Chain A
Amino acid sequence: MNGFTTKAIHSPFAVNDSHGALRMPVYDCVSFELESAEEMEAAFAGRKPAHAYTRITNPTVEDFEQRIKAVTGSFAVVALSSGMAAISTAILSITGAGDNLVASKFLFGDTYSFLKETLSGLGIEVRFADPLHPETFERLIDGRTRAIYLESLSNPLLYVPDLASFSAIAKRHGVALVVDTTMTPPYLFNSREFGVDVELLSATKAISGGATALGGLVIDNGTYDWGNNRLLSACAKKYGPFAFISKIRKQTARYLGGCLAPHNAYLLSLGLETLALRLEKSCPNALVVAEYLNGRAGVKAVNYPGLLNSPFYEVAARQFPRLPGSVVSFEFLDRETCFEFINALRLIRRSTNLHDNKSLCIHPASTILSHLSEAERVEAGVTQSCVRLSVGIEDVEDIINDIDQALEWRA
């Protein structure tokens, strides 16, 4: 069983269902009964593999985690309630007051604010650097740096960091390489192959597919020695490579409480089974859209690393050998033109979210990045004239026709 989709569909669930159910049932319940006081004691001490309370673990959620583990070939997986729950839980598991992170300055708006505002309030410093120049990260690393934090593809400008360079820097300094891969989910990107120690992603996006459920994933590739992290060194002595996961399960996720709802785990498992099929449709669609927009009158620039004239074409081809996702962004002359274009769309929906089956369009500066100051948006490279398209799985002629009529309308 080697293929991505075969594993996604056939990874066996551990429950011996009395009805022979072919799919993991939804255990939509809060607690589980154990047979005796002794069994309860053993379960709570971790000596018995039993579920006790859904905030901690749940069979349907565990089945989803095991499927993700199977398709990614990772060491361990924890599924949580959203992408932001995955990010906050993972970061708060490896950093404490006095520590620092060195992070990309081109980040998803909520991640940027979490790192800059929430973490600084906890005494955790975040040093922002340019991911297109890995040496700027290396200069900021010191003895209290716990991780390098990146996105595999920046949103909405689709910059591609050279992950092999970052992996080399992380290894040289003994810090973890943590990468949000939401824009290039499993099937498009093998994070372990490029030296990523911890992969974080919003399962809400490509894995859900039809935008049916929120969810987030923390994926430990088992490649980092957690004994190097002062918060986890005692854990590493007891639990070895399980140190990070044990910290999440036994402390951070448990106390922050961002557990994944069992029904959402069920929906995300369904989505995982068709992830590759949908990406095989949406990514080529995105390339067609990018090629169509490239050079069109009134379109100043098109960002898609799958375009031959993209400055990121080579590194994207190396890191994402199929295609670099299904998001395209482009620049008009000004904000007014962006709004006119967006308002003229008939098929493509005006909505946030990414990797939905439907094509979606948004003006990032006035929406998902509106909580940033103008100076922060400029630093992040996002202008008022930028439009982002998340290209769906519709027939590409219909997507092109809609873009075409919107461009014609404003012309």
Chain B
Amino acid sequence: MKYKVNGEEREANGTAITVSDILTNERVQNQDMVAVQFNSEFLNKALFNSTSVKDGEEVDFVYFMGGGQGRI
């Protein structure tokens, strides 16, 4: 199945992958300070383990440091 992370296409075996697994695969650090969006809606941290991402769905994550785009 195919899904998108921050606009880039990814592939996974099976029919779904959890948000937690995606963040691990993407080596996301300091998960306490990362905002995660699932299909463009904010996803609470408590739901990372139980939210399954299926074919065609999207996950985005944003750190609030670095350059950071001006627009919000």
Residues of A within 8 A of B (CB): 14, 40, 43-53, 56-57, 62, 76, 234-240, 242, 245-247, 249-251, 254-255
Other-chain residue from B33, B42, B69 in contact with A250 (beta carbon distance below 8 A): B69
Q: Is B37 close to A, CB under 8 A?
A: yes
Contacts of A250 in B (CB 8 A): 64, 68-72
CB distance from A123 to the nearest CB of B (A): 21
Show 16 residue pairs from A and B whose CB-CB distance is below 8 angstroms, ordered by the A residue: A40-B67, A43-B67, A44-B68, A48-B66, A49-B29, A49-B63, A51-B65, A53-B67, A238-B35, A238-B72, A239-B42, A240-B43, A240-B44, A245-B64, A246-B72, A255-B70
Closest to B66 in A: A43
A-B residue pairs, 10 tightest by C-beta: A44-B67, A240-B42, A46-B62, A52-B67, A43-B66, A239-B35, A57-B65, A242-B35, A50-B66, A49-B63
Query: How many B residues touch A, CB cutoff 8 Å?
Result: 23
Residues of chain B in range 4-26 having any CB-CB distance to chain A below 8 Å: 6
Q: A235-B72, A251-B72 are in contact. Are A44 and B66 (CB under 8 A)?
A: yes
A254–B30 contact, CB under 8 A? no
List B contacts of A53 (CB < 8 A): 67
Known: A56-B67, A235-B72, A249-B64. A47 touches B6 (CB 8 A): yes
- A-B contacts besides A46-B67, A47-B63, A245-B64, 7 pairs, CB < 8 Å: A46-B65, A46-B68, A52-B67, A56-B67, A237-B42, A247-B72, A250-B72
Q: How far is the CA of A254 from the CA of B40 in the complex (A)?
A: 24
Taking a contact as CB atoms under 8 Å apart, the answer to whether B64 and A242 are in contact is: yes
Smallest CB separation, A53 vs chain B (Å): 7
Given contacts A53-B67, A250-B71, contact A47 B62 (CB under 8 A): yes
How many Å lie between the Cα of A237 and that of B43 in the bound state? 9
Q: Is the interface of A mostly helix, strand, loop or mixed?
A: helix
Given contacts A46-B63, A236-B42, A240-B42, contact A56 B68 (CB under 8 A): yes
Chain A hits for B67, CB < 8 A: 40, 43-46, 52-53, 56
Chain A residues whose C-beta falls within 8 Å of the C-beta of B63 in the assembled complex: 46-49
A76/B33 in contact, CB under 8 A: yes
Expressed in whole angstroms, the Cα–Cα distance for A40 and B66 within the complex equals 9
Q: A47: which B residues are within 8 A, CB to CB?
A: 6, 61-63
Contact check, A45 vs B61: say whether CB atoms are below 8 A apart: no
Main secondary structure of the interface of B (DSSP, over half): loop
Contact B69 A44 (CB under 8 A): yes
The complex places the Cα of A40 from the Cα of B41 at a distance, in Å, of 26
In the complex, chain B residues whose CB is within 8 Å of the CB of A235:
72
The distance in angstroms between the C-alpha atoms of A245 and B66, with both chains bound, is 14
A249 touches B42 (CB 8 A): no
Contact of B70 among A48, A50, A234, A254 (CB under 8 A): A254
Measured between beta carbons, the chain B residues less than 8 angstroms from A57 are 65-66, 68
* Contact A52/B66 with A238-B35, A246-B35 known, Cβ cut-off 8 Å: yes
Q: How far is the CB of A259 from chain B (nearest CB, A)?
A: 13
Kindly provide the distance from the CB of B38 to the nearest chain A CB, expressed in whole angstroms: 11
Closest to A239 in B: B35
Determine the chain B residues whose CB is within 8 A of the CB of A48 once the complex forms: 63, 66
Report the bound CA distance from A52 to B42 in whole Å.
25
A249 vs B69: C-alpha distance in the bound complex, in angstroms?
A: 10
- For the complex, give the distance between the alpha carbons of A237 and B42 in Å: 6
Assess A49 versus B72: contact at CB under 8 Å? Given A44-B67, A237-B42, A240-B35.
Answer: no
Question: Which residue of chain A is the closest to B28 with respect to CB atoms?
Answer: A49
Which chain B positions have C-beta within 8 A of A254?
A: 68, 70
Chain A nearest CB, measured from B9 CB (Å): 15
